[in-house]
């Protein structure tokens, strides 16, 4: 029972909510905010260095023979999601805070997850090697593509990719990521053997980024314009977004491209997820003002929603595989 509840609700989400509550009661102010901000910037550098050290270029490139599958995953991640996000933007009520709409579009340009995409593919008995290739390629390309897509699609919300933003993206995201890739032959095994310890460290960095982001909103009274009905509407919009992607990717895999069930599973799980670990650091650079706390709210909610839905879907696929095996 406890294991099933844990599958549906990531305990890490509870820690995030606790950090948000702490930021609401004891936000970072003055010199404390400056120190916390510098620590968060250091955490961003550390996170992307680890991403570079963990992601194997061979894993991302090794599945080129399955290019239709990988192309579909990238299309879902960087084309289908933004198109659906634009549709939801036009349908969003006029009363919705613009920061929420910005956050919804920002969510749609992010890369896929790595760990959970592979984990759910494994649970569903899908093509795990292909999932590793697809998720790794999405994250590698996302470091470059996501900020550019965000700058292009969010111009109407006032986001302009100035020289300063490009500089920060380069120094805090690209340089550490590439440094991790360069050093991977020497430190890759060390990173792998300390995966659990480093996992605590990078999750701690994300919690610090959340604290700094929400503190800015509390200090500036940004949250006073956000009401409960807005939250309910946002949850509905995110549910529609996830359901639409799952329906489209499932239809394309089964009816158009006639993928095997194993490859269909890869497209469903790698093509429907968005990375919280990559998105929060990017948001803290792209949206440096007090609105960043509200901007990342859609991403945090979508993260939990995708875990719940994909846990259920993975068990469904696993049952189908068992039925197929029993009938052979």
Helix (H, G, I), strand (E, B) or coil at 125: coil
Specify the pLDDT at position 61.
Answer: 62
End-to-end CA distance of the chain: 32
C-alpha 247, offset from chain centre: 20
Are 48 and 281 within 8 A, CB to CB?
Answer: yes
Are 240 and 85 within 8 A, CB to CB?
Answer: no
Q: What pTM value is reported for the model? A: 0.84
Are 69 and 137 within 8 A, CB to CB?
Answer: no
Specify the pLDDT at position 5.
Answer: 45
Of 147, 153, 151, 170, the closest CA to residue 278 belongs to 147
Q: Which residues, 6 or more positions from 25, have their beta carbon under 8 angstroms from its beta carbon?
A: none
∠ CA 292-295-301 to the nearest 5 degrees? 125
Of 210, 296, 202, 279, the closest CA to residue 24 belongs to 210
Q: Which residues, 6 or more positions from 133, have their beta carbon under 8 angstroms from its beta carbon?
A: 59, 60, 61, 62, 63, 66, 70
Dmax (CA) of the chain:
67
Specify the pLDDT at position 95.
Answer: 78
Specify the pLDDT at position 1.
Answer: 43
Structure-token pair, residue 57: 């270029």
Specify the pLDDT at position 322.
Answer: 61
Specify whether the backbone of 221 is left (phi greater than 0), alpha (psi in -120 to 50) or beta: left
**pLDDT < 70 stretches in the chain:** 1-10, 57-65, 155-165, 222, 224-225, 321-328
Q: How many C-beta neighbours within 10 Å does residue 132 have?
A: 22
Q: How many C-beta neighbours within 10 Å does residue 204 have?
A: 13
Specify the pLDDT at position 192.
Answer: 82
Specify the pLDDT at position 16.
Answer: 80
Specify the pLDDT at position 72.
Answer: 95
């Amino acid at each position: 029972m406890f294991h099933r509840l844990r599958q549906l609700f990531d305990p890490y989400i509870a820690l995030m909510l606790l950090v948000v509550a702490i930021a609401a009661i004891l936000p970072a102010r003055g010199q404390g905010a400056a120190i916390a901000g510098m620590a968060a910037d250091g955490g961003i550098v550390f996170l992307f260095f680890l991403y570079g050290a963990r992601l194997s270029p061979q894993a991302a490139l090794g599945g080129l023979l399955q290019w239709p599958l990988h192309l579909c995953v990238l299309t879902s991640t960087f084309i289908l999601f933004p198109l659906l996000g634009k549709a939801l933007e036009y349908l969003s009520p006029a009363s919705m805070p613009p920061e929420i709409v910005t956050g919804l579009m920002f969510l749609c340009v992010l890369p896929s997850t790595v760990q959970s995409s592979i984990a759910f593919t494994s649970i569903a008995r899908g093509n795990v090697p292909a999932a590793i290739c697809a998720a790794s390629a999405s994250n590698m390309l996302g470091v470059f593509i996501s900020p550019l897509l965000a700058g292009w699609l969010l111009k109407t919300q006032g986001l302009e990719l100035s020289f300063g933003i490009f500089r920060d993206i380069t120094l805090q995201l690209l340089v550490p990521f590439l440094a991790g890739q360069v050093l991977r032959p020497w430190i890759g095994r060390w990173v792998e053997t300390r995966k659990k310890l480093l996992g605590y460290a990078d999750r701690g960095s994300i919690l610090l980024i959340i604290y700094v982001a929400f503190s800015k909103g509390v200090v500036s009274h940004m949250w006073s314009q956000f009401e409960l009905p807005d939250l309910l509407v946002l949850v509905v919009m995110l549910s529609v977004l996830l359901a639409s992607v799952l329906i489209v990717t499932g239809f394309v895999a089964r009816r158009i491209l006639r993928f095997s069930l194993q490859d269909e599973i890869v497209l469903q799980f790698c093509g429907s997820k968005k990375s919280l670990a990559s998105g929060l650091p990017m948001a803290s650079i792209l949206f440096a003002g007090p609105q960043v706390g509200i901007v990342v709210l859609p991403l945090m909610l979508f993260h939990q929603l995708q875990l719940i839905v994909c846990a259920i879907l993975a068990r469904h696929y696993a049952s189908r595989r068992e039925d197929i095996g029993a009938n052979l």
